[in-house]
Chain A
Amino acid sequence: GENVEQHPSTLSVQEGDSAVIKCTYSDSASNYFPWYKQELGKRPQLIIDIRSNVGEKKDQRIAVTLNKTAKHFSLHITETQPEDSAVYFCAASVVSGNTGKLIFGQGTTLQVKP
């Protein structure tokens, strides 16, 4: 069935270190993979996304890599800062006809310690 698995569920790093969150998806037809950051009590905010025609995308301290053969993708945050602390969700778009719906992972709670 449609499933996205996300690991780890919690991640604690020191300020300045890197953080990596990994996701695996089940639908081989998925071709769009966004990442959202959700702070406590706030809306999920899109931080980066990647489409299947590229293997890597970078935006300042954030990068995402995609391995379609293995059906997994990862979020990399470098030089972490306390304001990076939040819950991060990966998602994969599941195609049905011409439409897509997002299937989310369970989330990773990232804590950046000063």
Chain B
Amino acid sequence: DAGVTQSPTHLIKTRGQQVTLRCSPKSGHDTVSWYQQALGQGPQFIFQYYEEEERQRGNFPDRFSGHQFPNYSSELNVNALLLGDSALYLCASSLGWGETDTQYFGPGTRLTVL
């Protein structure tokens, strides 16, 4: 049973650039949520996708956008990168988008902005 996968593992960008991160959900899951985890902090919710639509969004600027594909995989795009965007980006998948659905995390993408 394939778990949640993410690519790439690591990424180094410079300020002002754009980045795309990818996530494949756990087999059988249809919902993907994205989180940002700064060093020494808990994950912070960015947004959630279900049926190719953004269902809920956290307190992140419009520079953060996403997409979900018909096969349930998802992308996170960040434009105009800032130094403060350096973090571990985690995606989590679940079956359903209700408030009690269990979320399973991928290994994350470590983004460094120089």
Q: CB within 8 Å of B: which residues of A? A: 4, 6, 30-32, 34, 36, 42-46, 49, 51, 89, 91, 93-107
Q: Which 7 A-B residue pairs are closest in the complex by CB-CB distance?
A: A100-B99, A104-B42, A32-B100, A93-B99, A101-B45, A43-B105, A95-B99
Listed residue (B40, B41, B99, B107) with the most chain A CB atoms within 10 angstroms of its CB = B99
B106 within 8 Å of A by Cβ?
yes
- Nearest residue, chain B, Cβ from A106: B42
The chain B residue with its CB closest to the CB of A34 is B102
Q: Is B65 an interface residue (CB 8 A)?
A: no
- Report the bound CA distance from A104 to B40 in whole Å: 12
Q: How far is the CB of B55 from chain A (nearest CB, A)?
A: 5
Tell me which residues from 76 to 95 in chain B have a Cβ below 8 Å from any Cβ of chain A.
Answer: 90, 92
What chain B residues lie within 8 Å of A103 (beta carbons)?
45
Whether the pair B102, A42 counts as a contact (CB closer than 8 A) is no
A45 touches B105 (CB 8 A): yes
In the assembled complex, which residues on chain B have CB atoms less than 8 Å from the CB atom of A104? Answer: 42-44
User: A36–B105 contact, CB under 8 A?
Assistant: yes
Give the CA-CA distance A43 to B105 in the complex, in Å: 6
How many whole Å from A66's CB to the nearest CB in chain B?
A: 13
- A107→B100 contact, CB < 8 A: no
Task: Note all chain A residues with C-beta closer than 8 A to B99.
Answer: 30-32, 93-95, 98-100
Quick check: A99 and B105 within 8 Å, CB to CB?
no
Chain A residues positioned under 8 Å from B104 (CB to CB): 46
Q: What residues on B are CB-neighbors of A93 within 8 Å?
A: 99-100
B74 within 8 A of A: no
